[in-house]
Amino acid sequence: MWDDIQAGFELRGKWRAEYFKNENPLIIELGCGKGEYTVGLACRYPEKNFIGLDKKGARMWRGAKTTAEQTIPNVAFVRMQIESIPSVFSPGEVDEIWITFPEPHPNSPRTRKRFTSPQFIERYRRILKDGGVIHLKTDSDLVYDYTLDVIRTGGHTLIYSTNDLYTEKISDATRDVVAVQTFYEQMWLTQGKKIKYLCFSIV
């Protein structure tokens, strides 16, 4: 199922206890689109909880339908503006954040709308547990280079990065990243586009 933003408010700080009814790690995907990544990771890791977030419910319909049809218990979807995440999750409630193929917002006045902008990083700081990590997967050189610069100037900790994911030897750092592919990722790969990935923690 997916919940609207009001349900999110009600579950703030209570996702594990009241929705998933366990104490497993909580991972969220921002701008989850059709939910392929959220559902794919949930199937790989039944011992973890996954929530896909997107502002358009029509995008999430496919993931929600798959979740219902396959009775996947560790998945939820929330229709919301990503800017509102501190209202949906309490401090330290989230273990990991996945940002998969976000809009690049190429015009400089709109850089603050990028999901890895300093403004968004501060929102993530308010919900991530100590030591929690952020994953970025993108086909955009602009977003990849911009995020590296945000990490550097912000003094954050870069854990792993590659500007050509599928030429890298699969390792513990990239196994999950290549195991699940979105519809658009598959399309871009057939077009010869390079997929970039990085992982970092906020300090």
User: pTM, whole model, 2 decimals?
Assistant: 0.92
Side-chain-side CA neighbours of 24 within 13 Å: the count stands at 17
Homologous superfamily of 2-201 = Vaccinia Virus protein VP39 (3.40.50.150)
State whether residue 26 is helix, strand or coil.
Answer: strand
Q: Which residues pair with 29 in a beta bridge?
A: 52, 98
Judge contact between 115 and 102, C-beta under 8 A: yes
Amino acid 8: pLDDT: 55
Q: Where are the domains of the chain?
A: 2-201
Model confidence over 40-94: pLDDT tens digits?
999 999 999 999 999 887 778 888 888 888 999 999 999 899 999 999 999 999 9
Alpha-carbon distance of 11 to 6, in angstroms, equals: 9
Model confidence over 3-44: pLDDT tens digits?
444 455 789 999 999 999 999 999 999 999 889 999 999 999
Amino acid 1: pLDDT: 42
Amino acid 110: pLDDT: 75
Residue 126 has pLDDT above 70, yes or no: yes
Alpha-carbon distance of 175 to 177, in angstroms, equals: 5
Residue 173 has pLDDT above 60, yes or no: yes
Nearest to 42 by CA among 31, 29, 58: 29
Q: DSSP readout, 37-53?
A: HHHHHHHH-TTSEEEEE
